[in-house]
Amino acid sequence: MKIPISWLKEYVDIKISPEELAERLTMAGTETTARGELLELDILPNRGDLQSVIGIAREIVTILDSKLHGTKYKVLSTKEKTNVPIEVKERKLCPRYMARVIKGVKIKDSPDWMKERLVACGLRPINNIVDITNYILLEYGQPLHAFDFDKVNKIVVRKAAEGETIQTLDGTEHKLDPSILVIADSTRPIAVAGIMGGKESEVSERTQNILLESAFFDPVSTNKSSQFLKLRTESSIRFGKGVDWEGVEMALHAAAALITELAEGTICDFKADKKSFEREPKIIKVRTEAVNRILGTELSKKEIDAILKRLNFLNGIPLYRAGDIEREIDVIEEIARIYGYHKIKAKLPQEIEDNPLDRLCVKTREIMAGAGLFEVQTFSILDPQYPDRLKLRDAHLRDFIKVANPLTEEESVLRTIVLPSLLKVVDHNRRHQVDDVKIFEIGKVYYKGEPHIERMMLAGALTKTDFFFTKAAVSALLNEFGSFEFKEIKTNLLNLGKSAGIVFEGEGIGWLGELAIPIARNYDFTEPVFVFELDLELLLKNAAATKKHAPLPRFPKTDRDVAFFVKEGVTHSSILAIIRQTGGNLVEEIQLFDIYNNSRAYRITYRDPSRTLKVEEVNELHTKICDALVQKLGVELRK
């Protein structure tokens, strides 16, 4: 936004250079550049109050701790009678609508001083009436619209009807959506509310009487209409950020006064003001303790009150800041801004809370990355069809929480399991010819409750690999925190025989395995996908407080290999159980080192911590283990 400094000086005494003024505005949060006697300001989206000369003048008054000069316009209306029926049907979208009638205007060029200011601000002069509405828009931040009064028989603020169209002032024909707010007469739309007027009711050289409109339109509705019509104007920008409730009336009167002066018009006694409700300044309690605790300052109540007085916040939040200042923290931010960020000493927080779960997440990331997996972050909002796509049977996994106001149906529920989010990533990569995917995510799942329950989970999805690589990646994590084992699990999520439940320190915390074929088909996966998911909060709860260390063994180990064919249904965990049960404490380690079809080969490590085992002892124990596998599991030893 561009503003001549000479215009600002009509409202505030400025005794510093343009460069210093720009610096002071920038340090207060509004990036400003001085270009001679012109200021260029980058207005933030939440500062709709700064979209005007008066708004910038208020900001300068606050920063310099000076005074704001009063308005310079006086409205002199006559007793001439006139009337315009006005009906506001959409009171939520237009809570305030004002209008005045000015007769006997003469359409001509604007004076040079007005043209120069409009051009300096980036607007093109057209004629005195249009220029006055643009001038007031820049001065007050309140968009106005002038209708040719003789072309309008009634004002109705309503939504567009199905199939209605309007030709706007730029000559473009627009098909209107029923959600769009319009200004209409008794038969047709004559303006798109808050965006642009219609061609049929525009002010022309033959116009003699005008109807001047000033209103408060809902910011959300205005933004949506502007996006739908692909029509972005100075008016839509200001209404989209929110205008001053009181400025609606002040701008109307100022424009009417200028029209009588520059267009020789006569203001009729008619003045419409349709309000859905009255608005009062917000009262927000600000605690001295909260200000100092959050900002790290030692301000007294008197110092805080002095800043609030400069902001005009002492008796409540003025209506021109109503859309921006809503909570105590917003007021504290304003106090910091005016006090000066450079005055706040940099220091570390006095206490940094140690969060064990955060530390666990950091360690988990390191281990997963070390295992060759890449971290992803996905949305925790999913399509409500995901339980069916995953064929979930557990009731608590199907009973998801619905989002109150979803943007789309495809993103309308909170997930109860991380897996579907990762499968979407795998599918996305596959569709872009990336077949080798190894990813993990640390994220939350949500369950119903009073209040709802959130759990931090670790999940992964891997392709172009096998069950044992997936198991090794999970084992690398679990090894860091305590003892664990993998047990047989039956779930429709995973293929039987290539799946395992994760038991950590005696408690089940998750699962891993190959994605079940029916579910893989739902995602059009033609190659195996290996997945895992575990509860990090349960892992943290059961993790050993200190690491366990053991002395290096004094006596040598002895390795023996055994290879055999297994029957269908014999699991890895059942084989391990037989070996440990038969071998007892002398079995130190069991490693599966070869697998082909139904053939398995294991290496068993024997060691006695108190003595050296004899070859005869090891051979005898190894034979017992082989015999137990044959008798109890029906394996066939390979010779």
Exposed/middle/buried for residue 232 (C-beta within 10 Å: 0-12, 13-18, 19+): middle
- Angle 545-549-553 (CA atoms, 0-180°, nearest 5)? 160
Q: How far apart are CA 48 and CA 196, in angstroms?
A: 19
Q: How far apart are CA 410 and CA 419, in angstroms?
A: 16
**Residue partners of 66: CB distance under 8 A and separation at least 6:** 12, 13, 60
Q: How far apart are CA 161 and CA 188, in angstroms?
A: 10
DSSP-derived pairing of the beta strands 530-535 and 507-515 = antiparallel
Cβ(62)–Cβ(338) below 8 Å:
yes
Cβ(11)–Cβ(51) below 8 Å:
no
Exposed/middle/buried for residue 531 (C-beta within 10 Å: 0-12, 13-18, 19+): buried
Does residue 189 have a cis peptide bond before it, meaning omega lies within 30 degrees of 0? no
Binding-site residues:
324, 330, 333-334
Cβ(535)–Cβ(357) below 8 Å:
no
Q: 249: which 2 tokens?
A: 């009336």
**Residue partners of 610: CB distance under 8 A and separation at least 6:** 555
Question: Is the torsion defined by CA of 430, 436, 441, 447 positive or negative?
Answer: positive
Name residue, tokens 């209306």. Answer: 77
Binding-site residues for Mg(2+):
324, 330, 333-334
Cβ(592)–Cβ(546) below 8 Å:
no
Cβ(460)–Cβ(368) below 8 Å:
yes
Q: 417: which 2 tokens?
A: 């399991």
Q: Please give, one letter per residue, the 3-state secondary structure of 106-117.
A: CCCCCCHHHHHH
